[in-house]
Amino acid sequence: MRDRPVVVLHDGEVPSPETMAPLQQLTQVQYTDEAGLAEALPGAEVLFAYHFTSKALPGAWHAADTLRWLHVAAAGVDPFMTEDVLASDVVVTNSRGVFDEAIAEYVLGQVLAFAKDLPGSWRRQQEQHWEHRESERVAGTRALVVGTGPIGRTIARLLRAAGLQVRGSGRRAREDDPDFTTVCAQEDLPRELARADWVVLAAPLTDATRGMIDTDALAAMRPGARLINVGRGELVRTDDLVSALRDEVIAGAALDVMDPEPLPAAHPLWQLPTALITPHNSGDFVGWRRALVELFAENLARWQAGEQLENIVDKTMGYVPGS
């Protein structure tokens, strides 16, 4: 492995030596940005997609003559699930487990922000306007978490600890789930949306989930419900959401992921008072970049020892089975 460097695809700025130390202790590293990917791939067996939103792989795939393993520094691998990757024998792994707790904390924070109207308090503070108001309780309210993988389960556990009643939506229905109690099948989503005060999207982006929250789904939600998306922006049809917020079909949306992304400056979502926008950073806690490298380095050590890799993605499903 040391005479076949691991290729690290970065976003234009080479990661710091401190961040990459766990990897550099195991092997040689060849850094490249998107423009140099095709030049870096020949002879490489391992590609570490540290630039986890890159769309450069299709244009460079012709140079991946010996590639055997692609690791994505994210839980979602959809940017890399090209036809060439799907048809190849290249093993794909993800970074499942790094972001779970931070994203769950973000979701709880947005629930509290809506219930206690923290954005409204901040606006009144800026205006130096003293206005007594009542707030909502979150205990006893009902949350539906769409996506029952590790992130969704961590969200469910934290919301339950705050007193919320939590149900899940996944590929298949089941009862007596340890985190959700009840999990409904995706085809039953409209009925479940009508029950929920909080709808949390934590599902992977697949053909089955793309655009799942559209005009009909939003109309099925309760008028006082809020939508929180920490999955992928493409899970939601953005124009339909804008209309639903403008027309008060639902009471609000907290969006850490959007379509398009980054959100253009003139996009109407910026101006909607019931939309809370964050720049795809719900999981980015202090030290997250180092944690991604440590997880990959642990898997690389298994690779070097001829052991089974962890977090292997089922390329036909788009995520790690059982997650």
Helix, strand, coil percent content, the chain, rounded in steps of 5: 35, 20, 45
Cα 89 to Cα 294: distance, rounded to the nearest angstrom: 25
Cα 149 to Cα 189: distance, rounded to the nearest angstrom: 17
DSSP result, 209-254: TTT-BSHHHHHHS-TT-EEEE-S-GGGB-HHHHHHHHHTTSSSEEE
Are residues 71 and 51 in contact, defined by beta-carbon separation less than 8 angstroms?
A: no
Annotated active-site residue 246? The verdict is: no
Q: Residue for token digits 């007594």?
A: 132
Query: One of 71, 153, 167, 232 is an active-site residue; which one?
Result: 232
Annotated active-site residue 131? The verdict is: no
Cα 101 to Cα 235: distance, rounded to the nearest angstrom: 21
Query: One of 222, 267, 280, 290 is an active-site residue; which one?
Result: 280
Annotated active-site residue 302? The verdict is: no
Cα 221 to Cα 237: distance, rounded to the nearest angstrom: 15
**Maximum distance among all Cα pairs of the chain, rounded to whole angstroms:** 68
307: left (phi over 0), alpha (psi -120 to 50) or beta: beta
Query: One of 34, 105, 261, 310 is an active-site residue; which one?
Result: 261
First to last CA, the chain: 30
SS3 letters for 169-199? EECCCEEEECCCEEEEEHHHHHHHHCCCCEE
Residues involved in catalysis = 232, 261, 280
